[in-house]
Structure 1
Amino acid sequence: MRIGELAKATGVSTRSLRYYEEQGLLPASRGANGYRDYGEQAVRVVAFIQDLYRAGLSSEIIRQILPCAGSARPQGDCTELLARVRQVRDQLAHQEQQLAVRRKMLERYLSGAATPAGLEAHLNRAH
């Protein structure tokens, strides 16, 4: 399929698809006319790439993941890569915990149950 067809099938811009190709994430063959041609797996690969980007992974890590994620047996050892992905997952979990704490603090402030840290001392000096 051509790039426009892939863009339509995935909802991803042609610019992003070209970027994925430049980054070595999405292989494309070239016809005699120079047009990109993508295989039948391209729609699933693009969806997977999008998921990994949304998870906060970089192009470099995604490029390493793709050979380990295919249906064929991975080439090389994916153990180190899996450890890196786990590390990213754990960082995201930590960020989620921090956000939950901040959200609770804001909810307490909005409900009148608490004053943001340091603000109470500032308010007392102003009066």
Structure 2
Amino acid sequence: MRIGELARRTGVSERALRYYEEQGLLTPLRRPSGYRVYGDADVAAVRRIRILLGAGLNTAQILEILPCIVDEDGWLTPDCPELTEALRQQRARIDEAIGELEATRANLDTIIGAERRGG
């Protein structure tokens, strides 16, 4: 299938698919004309990429861990022991960011409350 068909089947823009290729996440075959040719495996790969992006990983991280991800009945699971630890570290970074955002929100709530009391 060509890039337009892959975009339709995955709901991902052609631009994003080209970006995934630039990042090494997809490696379509090329016709002599230069057209990209994708297979059904690429549909599944795009699905995994989107899930991992949604989990807060960047494309460099995804490139590194993608070979260690197994898609079992729609659930992505790590297949390399070191991957589980890396994912735990990523989760810890997200937890820290959430904590910082909650503190920021609490500060704003205090300021908003002071504004109401003062005027």
TM-score (norm 2): 0.75
| CA offsets 1:51-79 (integer angstroms, 9 cap, x no match) | 3223332222101221111349xxxx822
CA–CA separation in structure 1 for the residues paired with 2:92 and 2:44: 26
Aligned residues: 111
1:91 aligns with 2:101: no
Unaligned runs of 5+ in 2: 73-78
| CA offsets 1:95-125 (integer angstroms, 9 cap, x no match) | 11111121122123212389xxxxxxxxxxx
1:4 aligns with 2:12: no
Which structure 2 residues correspond to residues 1-127 of structure 1 after superposition, within 5 A? 1-71=1-71, 78-112=80-114
CA–CA separation in structure 1 for the residues paired with 2:44 and 2:70: 10
Larger Rg: 1
| CA offsets 1:10-57 (integer angstroms, 9 cap, x no match) | 232222211211222112122344321111132332132123223332
Identical aligned residues as a percent: 45
More strand, by proportion:
2
TM-score (norm 1): 0.71
Question: What do you get for the CA RMSD once the two structures are aligned?
Answer: 2.6
Unaligned runs of 5+ in 1: 115-127
CA–CA separation in structure 2 for the residues paired with 1:113 and 1:5: 54
Worse-superposed segment, 59-68 or 89-98: 59-68
